[in-house]
Amino acid sequence: LVDGLSYRDELHEKYLSGRPEISFYRYLADTLLNDDWRQPPVLAVIVAEGDITYRGDFLSSLQGEKTVTPYQMSRAFNRAISDPRVKGLVLRINSPGGYALAGEDIYRTAWKAAERKPLLVSMASVAASGGYYIAMPARRIFANPAAITGSIGIYGGKLDLSGLYEKISLNKELYTRGRFAGMLSLSRPFSEDERLKYYTHMKAFYDYYLKLVADNRSLSVDSVDNLAQGKVWTGREARQYGLVDELGGLKTTLDYLAGQLGLADYRIEIYPIERPLFILPGGFLMNAIAGIFTSDKESSPALDVVPGLSETGELYARMPFDITIE
């Protein structure tokens, strides 16, 4: 089936001496009839895995914890839509949500990408709250029957540590300018006006979330409100209520997208493209190293055990959880 055996560096000496040569690309350019060496079209899978936040924690990433940031998603979508080989996009979501405004930024990025190339969503184990929020630009949403989704809602608040401060004889003096400038201080509770102000923030974003889902899922706002209020649904229930379109995993989503695009064959590329700078040691050692860098971190222990409540004042679109402080 072959004429000889040779390493590449032996070709000139054994077989090609005295014969004219041209480059392979020149050969392709000068040949009218040749096999098609072009790569098949690409379907891009944009992976959104982890809590939605604005800034990923470097030390957390070293320990293998996943986060989804607007910057990360923007880079992934931009690279995918700028590649002419990519014919369609699948947003693969595995997230319980996170910062509400970060979710809005990711939604905007996905919506702009969907204007350029077809976008479908494939829900993994969890795509709830902010994870459901960022799925709204998709033409169709696929979910496994047992996937956790929905949890349409907003929450926020702050810790009142005034009792703790009194117990340890710690006092803080606030110098503020503006009626609500000290609203998020942990050293005192909300005043009635501040509580009402903060509630209006949450209500405005919640109403916006309802309308966003209603517009994208072709449902009435009242219907979405009945399905919302933080309620969690399985993928099968979500399909019955119109929150998702199809039941199936990632392969089902890709095959559907390929069929819509008329692709008999396709390749898959994963975004964001992760290229580690070095191989990290095991998790136990990384936890010890992280402890060295975080041992002097100035933070309240109470804030560390209650994720989502801080002095920064963000609103959260995240799956509900129980909080117990002892």
99 and 130 Cβ atoms separated by less than 8 Å: yes
**Position of tokens 């399905």?**
227
Rounded Cα gap, residues 229 and 247, in angstroms: 24
Secondary structure letter of residue 99 according to DSSP: E
Residue ranges of the chain whose pLDDT lies below 70:
28-38, 56-65, 274-313, 320-326
- In this prediction, residue 80 carries a pLDDT of 93
H helices, E strands: number in the chain: 13, 12
CA quadruple 152, 158, 164, 170: dihedral, nearest 10: 160
- pTM to 2 decimal places: 0.73
Q: 95 pairs with which residues across the strands?
A: 127
Q: Find, among 191, 100, 187, 93, the residue nearest to 144 by Cα.
A: 93
Cβ–Cβ < 8 Å for 72, 91: no
Gap between the Cα atoms of 190 and 201, Å rounded: 14
The confidence score (pLDDT) of residue 127 equals 93
In sign, the C-alpha dihedral spanning 278, 279, 281, 282 is positive
pLDDT at 305 (0 to 100) = 43
Alpha-carbon distance of 137 to 107, in angstroms, equals 7
Question: What pLDDT is attached to residue 302?
Answer: 43
Helix (H) or strand (E) holding 246: strand 246-247
Which helix (H) or strand (E) element contains residue 124? strand 119-128
Nearest residue to 120 via CA among 161, 94, 85, 92: 92
End-to-end CA distance of the chain: 77
Selection from 315, 312, 319 nearest residue 198 by Cα: 315
What is the distance between the alpha carbons of residues 111 and 98, in angstroms, rounded to a whole number?
Answer: 19
In this prediction, residue 313 carries a pLDDT of 64
CA distances from residue 18 to 2, 7, 8, 30, 270 in whole angstroms, order as listed: 21, 18, 17, 22, 47
Of the CA atoms within 13 Å of residue 29, those in its CB half-sphere come to 5
Per-residue confidence (pLDDT) for residue 297, from 0 to 100 = 42
For 97, counting Cβ atoms within 10 Å of its Cβ (0-12 exposed, 13-18 middle, 19+ buried), the class is buried
SS3 category, 197 = helix
